[in-house]
Amino acid sequence: MDKSKKYCSVGVKLVGFYVILGLIPLIIAYLYTFYVLRSVLEEDGYRYIRQESEQAGNLMDAWADRYAAVIDSIYMDYYTNAYIMADYSNMGYESMYPYIDKAMLKLSLLCPETTKIEFYSFNETLPEDGNYFRKVSQMKEGWFQKAVDANGFTVVAGVDSRKEYGYERPYIGMVKLLNYFKNGSLQNVLQVQVDAVSVCDLIYDENEACRKFVLSEDGTVLASSERGDLGKNAEEVLQGAIKWEDIDWGQPGSLMEQGTYYMVTKDCQMNMKVLVIADKAS
């Protein structure tokens, strides 16, 4: 009886040994497959987020090119500048409005997302009509200086909103200093307002597995795949997900990892930046 138990015990041990021996290659194969698969998925994730940032950046560059071209045509329009610079102390505005209307219509037709076009001027004799012409002092704080600092280029100043049909409508403001005539201190700024939601729609993809942001130079969210982020500071929006100060803006296109997130940035025209983040689990 003792012998049979002994043989049985030895047999069980041998079976267990061979089972374990047989499982080892399977475990190794499983682990190898797991790591290879994870590597492939990570590489797909890298490729996906880079493609998304590249696509969003290209869309924003094309958008900026279109507006810059039309705004530059207004800048180069001799008569528009002459009308804005004229002294109306002893003359009327009858000939000015038809011409300005025609010039601004061109911008609206070529860029239908435009919601308002305004000239902010130091010319005290211009009509303050609430339509085209306003005093520089009425510009949103900091926007005039951004136009001056841009050295003649068109720049995105930020996001603001105005009440329209009973609700606040957000817009992206682009500004350009109109210094066609360089005489004295009389300066004018062209401000073009663009429907911010239309820009969100430009970069939005309902099947995307990432979050995309278009940011101004100071980190304001100009557009996002989530409309509720508009006009907010990106650092606040991303709080709890990633550390803003750890984002390396000096290497656009490079993949960065932070916690459970991948990130890629891209520089765009008009001092804009694209930031794409994706959860590693997605």
More reliable by pLDDT, 166 or 34 = 166
Residue 2 predicted with pLDDT over 70: no
pLDDT at 251 over 90: no
- Average pLDDT value for residue range 59-86: 90
Confidence at 44, pLDDT banded by 50, 70, 90 = low
Whole-number pLDDT of residue 146: 92
> What is the C-alpha separation between 29 and 32, in angstroms, rounded?
5
pTM here is 0.77
Residue 67's pLDDT band (cuts 50, 70, 90): very high
13-22, 68-77, 170-179: least confidently modelled range:
13-22
Residue 24 in this model has a pLDDT that exceeds 80: no
Per-residue confidence (pLDDT) for residue 104, from 0 to 100: 86
Evaluate if residue 186 carries a pLDDT over 70. Answer: no
Q: Which residue has the higher pLDDT, 135 or 259?
A: 135
1-10, 60-69, 224-233 — which is least confidently predicted? Answer: 1-10
pLDDT of amino acid 164: 74
- Express each pLDDT in 193-245 by its tens digit: 999 999 988 888 766 677 889 999 888 999 988 888 888 888 888 877 777 77
Q: Report pLDDT digits (tens) over 105-141.
A: 888 888 889 988 999 998 888 888 778 888 888 999 9
Average pLDDT, the chain: 80
